[in-house]
Amino acid sequence: MIMGGKRTVRMSGVEFVRRFLRHGPLSGLKRIRHYGVLTSSCKAVKLHAARLALQMPGATRT
């Protein structure tokens, strides 16, 4: 018996899809889509600050 380790398992395509779909949210639950940097109320300001922090090209200090 493997305890806590990774293992490779062969399975049919149907079984793979079944297991994959089990990771979706249960009915009745809501997803939080816009949180943190991508909040629409301050997206431009926070995105600009994130780009500056990551030293991305095109992000200049103002």
Report the pLDDT value the prediction gives residue 10, as an integer from 0 to 100: 93
Confidence of residue 5 (pLDDT cuts 50, 70, 90): confident
pTM score of the predicted model: 0.38
Residues near 39 by Cβ (< 8 Å), separated by ≥ 6?
A: 46
Residues near 36 by Cβ (< 8 Å), separated by ≥ 6?
A: 46
pLDDT in tens, 11-54: 999 999 888 888 777 777 776 666 666 677 787 888 888 888 99
Report the pLDDT value the prediction gives residue 62, as an integer from 0 to 100: 62
Residues near 38 by Cβ (< 8 Å), separated by ≥ 6?
A: 47
Whether 51 and 58 have beta carbons less than 8 Å apart is answered as: yes
